[in-house]
Structures are given as C-alpha cells and as structure tokens.
Amino acid sequence: MAKGRVTIDEVICKGCGLCVSVCPKNVLALSTTKINPAGYNPAEMVGEDCIACTSCAKMCPDCAITVEKLD
C-alpha cells in the first residue's frame, strides 16, 4: 500500500529523469505517451509503492514535484 502520492507538474517538467533515477521504489518513469508544451516527455507515477521519501522532489531542479504523505 502506498504511503505517499507524487504529483508532477507536467508543464514544468523537462523530462530530465533525475527523479526516476533516485526513486528507491521505482514508481516513477518518463512518459512514453505524453509530451508537454515545451516538447518534453514528463515524468509520471507508474507504481503503487511510493514510501513518501521525497527523494524525487529534492532532486528535481525545476521544483515540479510534490509528495503528499498518506495516512
């Protein structure tokens, strides 16, 4: 069961993949179907095992990620 929910601002995300590389649970991936207005494939949550560690949000150079802890 997920302990956190990741929200990614797809308009701001430049698809650098840094968040994907630091996620210990591999719940993030770069989209293969979405392209944002800047022409990038944004990151998206693809798994249900988020532990709300906030590593992805800390790594994001554009502050495009927020992590919500769930009860």
The token duo for 67 is 């992590």
Number of domains in the chain: 1
Burial 13-44 (b: 16+ CB within 10 A, else e): bbbbebbbeebeeebbbbbeeeebeeebbbbb
CATH of the domain at 57: 3.30.70.20
Domain span at residue 18 reads 4-69
- What's residue 39's pLDDT? 98
6-55 per-position pLDDT tens digit: 999 999 999 999 999 999 999 999 999 999 999 999 999 999 999 999 99
Q: Over 80: is that where the pLDDT of 64 sits? A: yes
Q: Over 80: is that where the pLDDT of 1 sits? A: no
Helices (H) and strands (E) in the chain, counts: 2, 4
